[in-house]
């Protein structure tokens, strides 16, 4: 179920109720010492989100969610602040806090994200994304360069890095090149 209210001159309020289902063939480790056992799980979640007008240079959103979560409950709050100083540049900060209660115990998960998008031209775009997960104490960095060489045809160069915050130990590092080509027939 979903209800959207749009305000004049701008902004909107969304109310969403979702029924979710997941079947686990292996235990789902949520945090150290906290896991969900094998089985079938169904739950309902409700979320309310308010977003200010996206046509402004600075806009944001705030959300609150509550409901089930596998064999427990989850309450979540989040907010996003976006600044578009120019037509070709976008900066965004996001914070989410999840308070989860499972049969195996409580889990508190905080996630912070920063995103930058820049367009050098109508065919060359770049973006960078950094995320910190307080639960796992890890940083994830993702940078992408996108060159559109023909309509619906792109060349992507993507760099991803994941490391532990305290020790700086590298967990993963990848560089990927992806080419897409539109074929008309």
Tell me the C-alpha to C-alpha distance, in Å, between residue 55 and each of 39, 52, 97: 45, 9, 27
Q: Which strand (E) or helix (H) includes residue 25?
A: none
Confidence of residue 136 (pLDDT cuts 50, 70, 90): confident
Percentage above 90 pLDDT, the chain: 79
Strand ranges (E), 32-164: 34-36, 39-51, 58-69, 72-86, 89-102, 105-119, 124-133, 138-150, 153-164
Give 56-92 pLDDT, tens digit per residue: 899 999 999 999 999 999 999 999 999 999 999 999 9
CA 125 – CA 148 distance, rounded (Å): 8
Give 144-168 pLDDT, tens digit per residue: 999 999 998 999 999 999 998 877 7
Arithmetic mean of pLDDT, 139-148:
96
CA 88 – CA 166 distance, rounded (Å): 35
User: 159: closest CA among 177, 138, 142?
Assistant: 142
Tell me the C-alpha to C-alpha distance, in Å, between residue 84 and each of 68, 93, 115, 116: 36, 12, 12, 10
Tokens of 116: 């930058």
């Amino acid at each position: 179920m979903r209800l959207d209210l749009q305000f004049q001159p701008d902004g909107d309020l969304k109310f969403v109720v979702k029924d979710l289902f997941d079947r686990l063939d292996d235990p789902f480790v949520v945090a150290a010492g906290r896991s969900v056992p094998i089985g079938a799980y169904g739950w309902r979640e409700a979320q309310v989100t308010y977003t200010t007008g996206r046509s402004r240079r600075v806009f944001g959103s705030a959300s609150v969610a509550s409901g089930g979560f596998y064999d427990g409950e989850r309450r979540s709050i989040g907010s996003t602040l976006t600044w578009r100083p120019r037509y070709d540049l976008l900066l965004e900060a996001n914070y989410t806090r999840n308070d989860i209660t499972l049969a195996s115990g409580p889990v508190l998960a905080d996630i912070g994200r920063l995103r930058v998008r820049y367009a050098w031209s109508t065919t060359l775009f770049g973006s960078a994304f950094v995320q910190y997960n307080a639960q796992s104490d890890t940083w994830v960095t993702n940078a992408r360069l996108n060159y559109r060489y023909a309509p619906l045809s792109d060349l992507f160069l993507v760099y991803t890095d994941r490391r532990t915050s305290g020790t700086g130990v590298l967990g993963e590092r990848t560089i990927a090149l992806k080419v897409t080509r539109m074929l008309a027939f």
